[in-house]
């Protein structure tokens, strides 16, 4: 995972590098470090922990240096420690890496057998191997070429040599962009982190090797490379009046959903519908692919498509799909990849895999500059704006909205929906923001639920049909930011095993929309209460039960808007419970916003 930055031939390096690194911190925050470079000198400072800690250690102005490379880490190989923090450097070489070098043990055997010290990390191995190789290979380009030829894995490197004052950039699998402004050159794992600094941009391709000497950039493997004008993103990195990004992002949902729906209501679909018609003529199924929260969006889409269309739909975890045999020549599936970041390695690799087998692909993403957009046949955007909190909230509901709109288009093309039904469902989608605004105003249930959770040892989320994926999502939210043990179950499955978990220290949260399954879910609640469990119910209709259960009455739902209406209160209870627990809500332990390793 990790984020890397490089600033070559510029000034105010401390302020700029810390600013860019803090925007990359969503990629990992186990440790951070920078190497300042100039006049054949390298000065490296690393810290375990977040960028704010590194910032405190950077006491001088570093005005004497003209360049810097830096790193923010999500530990893969090797514990979280100063020793494993990047940059790895001495007085001759400094390097930072985002990715994983899979054959590092082989490299150790081949090149570092004489080495006494225990080398924990893959990237430290690369650093030491590079040092070994540099004893025999003087020419820096030849040295880099040699290094590239022996590395296996997905990575992006920035490597600085003090004797020639050259910086090399290598990309294979992990994202890396280079930007320019006047005589200064910038590198970043995420181009949006360079917003205020660059006029032109180039996104490196796999296999690219670049050399920057002073401000001159040479593409060593590809002469046709062109920088393109850079368009600043409108995304803001500010919490405004909110205490955390997560709660700000929860509150932003009515507006970002409105913006997303506006896009899907416009003429855009005339264009898209034609492309979709062509795709559907040669296709008989959709496969939805994602990870984590995005996978829960896939599961919800399956319910939508099964309800409103006749197309066959299945869902795959990207991390599983990658290793499956999909060589079925008779299947003409369209693969639909869902990713907030557009950079999740498992999803990206699954997309590349599917493409290599000749299947068509659609990407639904919040990041239009991302690698997945460049790989897919068609992109459907969500307009959630930048999501900073590690826990995905507004990006998820915008994914649901894009998927709901896609489903209705397919329903119309396949003649499963007539125009009256289509228009009614579109209206339901347009009404979602006002229902969510109502939920944001109802805060009377939050304290009570936080109290119930505080005395519980575990919390289970139970639901049926199209809100079952929302139970899984509610559980993921709670566990990732509060660290409480939690699971999501399909209501009907409780009696097949999970009900054994119920006792008086367990809280069960039941999502119970007012539909034909309402009584079935009520029975689930009764069965839990009968075994001494505590039950909280979210529903638009009271069950009338006098028993020890706490009900939260939500706005009336329809089939298509229920997943949205039942998501928001679960995001809120996770947030307020985590706040009560005092966890690091925007950057929970062991996680990163963008999982750019396999
Ligand atoms: C959920 O809150 C997490 N942030 C995580 O599950 C996330 O949804 C997953 O890693 C996929 O990320 P993506 O949407 O950027 O691909």
Per-residue pLDDT reduced to its tens digit, 147-162: 999 999 999 999 999 9
Alpha carbon nearest to ligand 1 atom 10, residue: 292
78-87, 281-290, 364-373, 458-467: which is most confident: 458-467
Ligand 1 geometric centre to CA of 590 (Å): 14
Give the pLDDT confidence score for residue 236 in this predicted structure. 61
Q: Where are the beta strands (DSSP E) in 471-548?
A: 485-490, 506-511, 534-539
**pLDDT of 121 strictly over 80:** yes
Average pLDDT over every residue of 319-334:
84
Q: State the fold for domain 442-598.
A: Rossmann fold (3.40.50)
Place of tokens 């990629």: 27
**pLDDT of 547 strictly over 90:** no
- Catalytic residue check, 510: no
Is the bond preceding residue 329 a cis peptide, omega within 30 degrees? no
Q: What is the rounded CA–CA span in Å between residue 336 and residue 283?
A: 13
Token code pair at residue 285: 């199924």
Question: From the alpha carbon of 293, which atom of ligand 1 is closest?
Answer: 8
Listed residue (459, 439, 461) closest to 450, CA to CA: 459
Query: Backbone phi, then psi, for 381, in 5-degree steps?
Result: -85, 155
Query: What pairing do the DSSP bridges indicate for beta strands 312-317 and 285-290?
Result: parallel
Q: How confident is the model at residue 223 (pLDDT cuts 50, 70, 90)?
A: low
Query: What pairing do the DSSP bridges indicate for beta strands 285-290 and 333-339?
Result: parallel
Which is the catalytic residue, given 180, 248, 394, 593? 593
Question: From the alpha carbon of 593, which atom of ligand 1 is closest?
Answer: 4
DSSP run (H or E) holding 293: helix 292-308
**pLDDT of 268 strictly over 70:** no
Which segment of 57-66, 104-113, 477-486 scores lowest on mean pLDDT?
57-66
Does the C-beta of 522 come closer than 6 Å to ligand 1? no
Q: List 339's β-bridge partners, or say none.
A: 365
Average pLDDT over every residue of 34-38:
94
Give the pLDDT confidence score for residue 445 in this predicted structure. 95
Alpha carbon nearest to ligand 1 atom 6, residue: 292
**pLDDT of 328 strictly over 70:** no
Residue 309 makes CB contacts below 8 A (sequence gap 6+) with 407, 410, 411, 414, 416, 417
Alpha carbon nearest to ligand 1 atom 2, residue: 391
Alpha-carbon torsion 374, 375, 378, 383, what sign?
negative
Does the C-beta of 567 come closer than 6 Å to ligand 1? no
Does the C-beta of 319 come closer than 6 Å to ligand 1? no
Question: From the alpha carbon of 393, which atom of ligand 1 is closest?
Answer: 2
Average pLDDT over every residue of 434-457:
95
Average pLDDT over every residue of 175-202:
93
Give the pLDDT confidence score for residue 369 in this predicted structure. 79
Alpha carbon nearest to ligand 1 atom 8, residue: 293
Q: What is the rounded CA–CA span in Å between residue 579 and residue 25?
A: 21
Give the pLDDT confidence score for residue 234 in this predicted structure. 61
Give pTM, 2 decimals: 0.85
**Angle of CA points 542, 546, 551, to nearest 5°:** 40
Q: How large a percentage of the chain has pLDDT more than 70?
A: 97
Strand 31-38's sheet: what is its strand order? 41-48, 31-38, 67-73, 3-8, 184-188, 177-181, 200-203, 228-229
**pLDDT of 396 strictly over 80:** yes
**pLDDT of 108 strictly over 80:** yes
Give the pLDDT confidence score for residue 178 in this predicted structure. 96
Q: State the fold for domain 3-229.
A: 3.60.20
Q: How confident is the model at residue 558 (pLDDT cuts 50, 70, 90)?
A: very high
Which is the catalytic residue, given 2, 407, 510, 525? 2
Does the C-beta of 246 come closer than 6 Å to ligand 1? no
Place of tokens 């079952």: 468
| Higher-scoring residue by pLDDT: 165, 221 | 165
Is 341 in contact with 370 (CB distance < 8 Å)?
yes
Does the C-beta of 594 come closer than 6 Å to ligand 1? yes
Ligand 1 geometric centre to CA of 194 (Å): 23
Does the C-beta of 298 come closer than 6 Å to ligand 1? no
Would you tell me how many other CB atoms lie within 10 Å of the CB of residue 365? 29
Ligand 1 geometric centre to CA of 546 (Å): 39
Question: From the alpha carbon of 344, which atom of ligand 1 is closest?
Answer: 16
**pLDDT of 233 strictly over 80:** no
Place of tokens 């898209």: 272
Residue range(s) of every CATH 3.60.20.10 domain in the chain:
3-229
Q: What is the rounded CA–CA span in Å between residue 15 and residue 19?
A: 6
Q: What is the rounded CA–CA span in Å between residue 501 and residue 35?
A: 52
Ligand 1 geometric centre to CA of 218 (Å): 36
Q: How confident is the model at residue 492 (pLDDT cuts 50, 70, 90)?
A: very high
Is 366 in contact with 392 (CB distance < 8 Å)?
no
Ligand 1 geometric centre to CA of 592 (Å): 9
Question: From the alpha carbon of 367, which atom of ligand 1 is closest?
Answer: 15
Token code pair at residue 503: 């006792």
Is 1 in contact with 177 (CB distance < 8 Å)?
no
Does the C-beta of 190 come closer than 6 Å to ligand 1? no
Average pLDDT over every residue of 106-131:
93
Residue range(s) of every CATH 3.40.50.10490 domain in the chain:
236-430, 442-598
- Catalytic residue check, 2: yes
Q: What is the rounded CA–CA span in Å between residue 488 and residue 104?
A: 38
3-state class (DSSP) for residue 557: coil
Is 461 in contact with 467 (CB distance < 8 Å)?
no
Q: How confident is the model at residue 220 (pLDDT cuts 50, 70, 90)?
A: confident
Alpha carbon nearest to ligand 1 atom 9, residue: 292
Ligand 1 geometric centre to CA of 400 (Å): 14
Query: What pairing do the DSSP bridges indicate for beta strands 458-463 and 31-38?
Result: unpaired
- pLDDT digits 0-9 by tens, 292-315: 999 999 999 999 999 999 999 999
**pLDDT of 598 strictly over 80:** no
Token code pair at residue 216: 């001159």
Does the C-beta of 340 come closer than 6 Å to ligand 1? yes
- Superfamily name with CATH number, domain 236-430: Glucose-6-phosphate isomerase like protein; domain 1 (3.40.50.10490)
Does the C-beta of 9 come closer than 6 Å to ligand 1? no
3-class SS letters over 497-519: CHHHHCCCCEEEEEECCCCCCHH
Ligand 1 geometric centre to CA of 20 (Å): 22
Ligand 1 geometric centre to CA of 190 (Å): 16
List helix spans (H) across 151-211: none
């Amino acid at each position: 995972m990790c984020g890397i930055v490089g600033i070559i031939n510029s000034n105010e390096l401390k302020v700029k590098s810390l600013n860019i690194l803090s925007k990359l911190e969503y990629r990992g925050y186990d440790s951070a470090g920078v190497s300042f470079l100039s006049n054949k000198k390298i000065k490296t400072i690393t810290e375990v922990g977040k960028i704010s800690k590194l910032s405190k250690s950077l006491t001088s102005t570093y005005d004497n240096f003209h360049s810097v490379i830096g790193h923010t880490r999500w530990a893969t190989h090797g514990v979280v420690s100063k020793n494993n923090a990047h940059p790895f450097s001495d007085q001759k070489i400094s390097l930072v890496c985002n990715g994983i070098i899979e054959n590092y043990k082989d490299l150790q055997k081949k090149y570092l057998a004489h080495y006494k010290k225990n080398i924990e990390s893959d990237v430290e191995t690369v650093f030491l191997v590079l040092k070994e190789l540099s004893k025999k290979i003087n020419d820096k380009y030849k040295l880099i070429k040699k290094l590239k030829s022996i590395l296996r894995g997905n990575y992006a490197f920035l490597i600085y040599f003090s004797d020639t004052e050259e910086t090399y950039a290598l990309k294979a699998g992990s994202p890396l962009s280079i930007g320019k402004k006047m005589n200064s050159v910038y590198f970043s794992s995420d181009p949006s982190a360079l917003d205020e600094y660059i006029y032109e941009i180039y996104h490196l391709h796999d296999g690219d090797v670049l050399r920057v000497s002073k401000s001159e950039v040479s593409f060593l493997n590809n002469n046709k490379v062109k920088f393109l004008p850079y368009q600043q993103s409108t995304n803001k990195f500010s919490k405004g009046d909110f205490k955390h990004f997560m709660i700000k992002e929860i509150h932003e949902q009515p507006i970002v959903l409105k913006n997303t729906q506006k896009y899907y209501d416009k003429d855009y679909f005339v264009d898209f519908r034609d492309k979709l018609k062509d795709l559907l003529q040669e296709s008989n199924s959709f496969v939805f692919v994602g990870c984590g929260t995005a996978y829960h969006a896939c599961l919800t889409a399956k319910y939508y498509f099964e309800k409103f269309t006749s197309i066959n739909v299945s869902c795959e975890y990207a991390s599983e799909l990658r290793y499956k045999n999909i060589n079925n020549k008779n299947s003409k599936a369209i693969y639909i990849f869902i990713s907030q970041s557009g950079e999740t390695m498992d999803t990206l690799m699954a997309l590349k895999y599917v493409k290599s087998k000749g299947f068509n692909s659609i990407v639904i993403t919040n990041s239009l500059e991302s690698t997945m957009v460049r790989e897919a046949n068609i992109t459907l955007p969500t307009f959630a704006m930048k999501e900073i909190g590690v826990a995905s909230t507004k990006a998820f509901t915008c994914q649901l909205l894009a998927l709901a709109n896609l489903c209705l288009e397919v329903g119309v093309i396949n003649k499963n929906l007539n125009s009256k039904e289509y228009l009614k469902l579109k209206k339901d989608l347009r009404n979602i923001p006002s229902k969510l605004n109502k939920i944001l105003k109802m805060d009377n249930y939050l304290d009570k639920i936080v109290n119930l959770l505080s005395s519980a040892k575990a919390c289970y989320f139970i639901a049926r049909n199209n809100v079952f994926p929302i139970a899984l999502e509610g559980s993921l939210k709670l566990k990732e930011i509060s660290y409480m043990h939690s699971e999501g179950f399909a209501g009907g499955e409780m009696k097949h095993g999970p009900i054994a978990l119920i006792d008086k220290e367990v809280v069960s949260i039941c999502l119970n929309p007012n539909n034909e399954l309402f009584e079935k879910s009520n029975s689930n609640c009764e069965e839990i209460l009968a075994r001494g469990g505590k039950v909280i119910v979210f529903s638009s209709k009271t069950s009338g039960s006098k028993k020890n259960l706490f009900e939260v009455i939500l706005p009336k739902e329809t089939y298509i808007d229920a997943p949205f209406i039942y998501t928001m209160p679960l995001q809120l209870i996770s947030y307020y419970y985590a706040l009560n627990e005092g966890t690091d809500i925007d950057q929970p332990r062991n996680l990163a916003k963008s999982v750019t390793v396999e």
